[in-house]
Structure 1
Amino acid sequence: MGFRSDWHEWHAARERYAGAEYGPSALESTNWLISEPAAVDGIPGLWALAGDDGIRGTELGQAGSSVTLRGTQTLRLGRRELRVFDRNGAIALRVWNPARPQREWFTAIDAYAPDERWRLPATFEPTPGERILVTSVDGASRETDVAGRLHFTLAGAPHTLTVTRTGQGTLSAVFSDGTSGLETYRFRFLPIDEPAEDGTAVLDFTRAYLPPCAFSDQFVCPLPPPGNRYSTPIRAGERVVVLGG
């Protein structure tokens, strides 16, 4: 298939994911727990940290029944789904609700028309041993390994893009540009195809996509590192969430 048809398939899949019953728009709350049981809005029982990075719910209204969730285990209470969220050892209880208004009103992801000119050639420079401080939208910071930097030209000027590896081992970047907060969400994510052995790579900004926190403010997305904040507009990729209401 050609560039445009590939892009439209990708964009359609992104919209299906975003509007799914338990997709990102359904995240209702992220609740940081302590060892003392406490109530959580919207769900029955009392919830607290359990041993071994788990979460324990008690007094669930079924003859005093209780439950413990760990790892990828989930629990449905009515239509709400409960999941464990582990951020570097800090454990939270996340509540997903398909009836959340932002999910029910989700209509589309507005995006720029695909333009192959936004597939920019780049050169990858590995940076073994380098770490940077990454700050999340809630102010929490942590050191993260840097996989490398991509050198490219934008609007006639040299730029660099700092990239890291995801938990799945793929390259990814967080960036903002001259459209951020105006034409697009405040920052975006960019997947990076693995560079060739000689370091040549392609930055496909037409695949720039909205972070989960564009769909729910209960996500704790990483912000762009200082070197990935550009003043030049990058009019490619996803722009904003469209709600019907």
Structure 2
Amino acid sequence: MTEPSLADHVAERDHWARSARGPLALVTTQLVEQPQPVWPVPGRWAPAPGGLTVTAEAADGIVVDGFPVDGAVLVAGDQAVVPSTVAFADGTAATVHGHTLRVWDPASDAVTRFATIARFDASPSHVTSGRFRATTGQEDRGSVVDAAGDPLVVAGTVSTEVDGAPLELLAVRSAVHHGVARLQLIVQDATSALPEDDPGSSYSMGRFLYLDDPGADALAADDSGAEVLLDWDRLVLPPCAFSFQFACPIPPEQNRIPVPLRAGERHPVDATGAVMH
């Protein structure tokens, strides 16, 4: 599949940020370990095999999988073959991950305030090449964790250079995107340490870069790996840059780049240009 143009990529990212399931719409993330209410939605929620149960009356206006709730109903989590859909009378919605209820408000204050994702100016010089070498065996596995602290599958390393600084970055497996297998780099750089109102700053916890997975080509017989392109103008903010309801993955030590990467996304901003989060 042909990669979208940078302009299309930018438009897609802004649309995602303000969408009904985008990061600005997430208003509550609540782990449910015992029967309890969850702000700001009605019903009483409890852990159950495969998700949560919600107990409510018809007057509460909760709809699960297209049917009004009047009693106790199972809400299947996102690991189910068919995850449940949950809608509330005020236009909010919910999803379940494990035993965690996530509440989404497409008209949240953050969605209303959002103007765009501030970015560094793009440049052809921001596209560099590197060599991807796949990990064989168990080396490096478990050395990179997601926002929940669970280990990510380390795919290998990417050797490249930025402003004269040689880098050996850990790459993890990412979800297939538009039918294409991808690798993910979780990185910080010198712009992350600057105050957020500095025009040269980026989000303090780091950013993501996705690469096409070269697959079997990375296991070249001469052990030189496979060539990959790193388009730093496509550095993107993690969901935690938009909402405190998301936790941030920590970039591994070798992915903390000592030079500034003045490329890609910087911060979500409002109409005045003020950083939102």
Query: Is the structural similarity TM-score above 0.5?
Result: yes
Q: Deviations over 1:64-89 (max 9, x none)?
A: 53322113322010211110124xxx
SS at match of 2:14: helix
> Which residue does 1:225 correspond to in 2?
252
RMSD value over aligned CA atoms? 2.1
Q: How does 1:5-24 map to 2 (within 5 A)?
A: 6-24=5-23
The percent identity for this pair of structures is: 33
The answer to whether residue 210 in structure 2 is matched with residue 194 in structure 1 is no
Structure 1 unaligned spans of 5+: none
> Which residue does 1:68 correspond to in 2?
74
Q: Deviations over 1:117-142 (max 9, x none)?
A: 111110111112330333455xx422
Q: How does 1:34-45 map to 2 (within 5 A)?
A: 34=33, 36-45=34-43
The answer to whether residue 25 in structure 2 is matched with residue 32 in structure 1 is no
The answer to whether residue 211 in structure 2 is matched with residue 184 in structure 1 is no
SS at match of 2:122: coil
By how many angstroms is 1:215 displaced?
1.2
Please list every run of at least 4 consecutive aligned residues from structure 1 whose deviation after the TM superposition is greater than 3 angstroms: 60-64, 133-137
By how many angstroms is 1:59 displaced?
2.5
Q: Which moved more, 1:140-149 or 1:234-243?
A: 140-149
Tell me, in whole angstroms, the C-alpha distance in 2 between the residues paired with 1:50 and 1:205: 43
The alpha-carbon distance between structure 1 residues 22 and 143, as it changes in their structure 2 partners (threshold 3 A), is: closer
> Which residue does 1:96 correspond to in 2?
104
SS at match of 2:5: helix
Tell me, in whole angstroms, the C-alpha distance in 2 between the residues paired with 1:240 and 1:97: 21
The answer to whether residue 186 in structure 2 is matched with residue 174 in structure 1 is yes
* Alpha carbons 2:20, 2:104 under 8 Å: kept: no
Tell me, in whole angstroms, the C-alpha distance in 1 between the residues paired with 2:85 and 2:252: 33
Amino acid of the structure 2 residue aligned with 1:76: A
Tell me, in whole angstroms, the C-alpha distance in 1 between the residues paired with 2:264 and 2:17: 15
Tell me, in whole angstroms, the C-alpha distance in 2 between the residues paired with 1:152 and 1:60: 59
* Alpha carbons 2:235, 2:263 under 8 Å: kept: yes
> Which residue does 1:54 correspond to in 2?
51
* Alpha carbons 1:164, 1:173 under 8 Å: kept: yes
Tell me, in whole angstroms, the C-alpha distance in 2 between the residues paired with 1:22 and 1:103: 11
1:122 to 130, 136, 144: 130
Amino acid of the structure 2 residue aligned with 1:109: I
By how many angstroms is 1:144 displaced?
2.4
> Which residue does 1:83 correspond to in 2?
95
> Which residue does 1:240 correspond to in 2?
267
> Which residue does 2:222 correspond to in 1?
none
Structure 2 unaligned spans of 5+: 60-68, 195-200, 218-224, 273-277
Amino acid of the structure 2 residue aligned with 1:117: S
Q: Deviations over 1:6-49 (max 9, x none)?
A: 21121011111111233210000111111x21010110111111
Tell me, in whole angstroms, the C-alpha distance in 2 between the residues paired with 1:133 and 1:67: 40
**How does the TM-score come out when normalised to structure 2?**
0.78
The alpha-carbon distance between structure 1 residues 107 and 60, as it changes in their structure 2 partners (threshold 3 A), is: farther
Tell me, in whole angstroms, the C-alpha distance in 1 between the residues paired with 2:53 and 2:144: 30
Tell me, in whole angstroms, the C-alpha distance in 2 between the residues paired with 1:150 and 1:105: 38
Tell me, in whole angstroms, the C-alpha distance in 1 between the residues paired with 2:158 and 2:145: 21
Tell me, in whole angstroms, the C-alpha distance in 2 between the residues paired with 1:180 and 1:58: 45
SS at match of 1:144: coil
* Alpha carbons 1:149, 1:163 under 8 Å: kept: yes
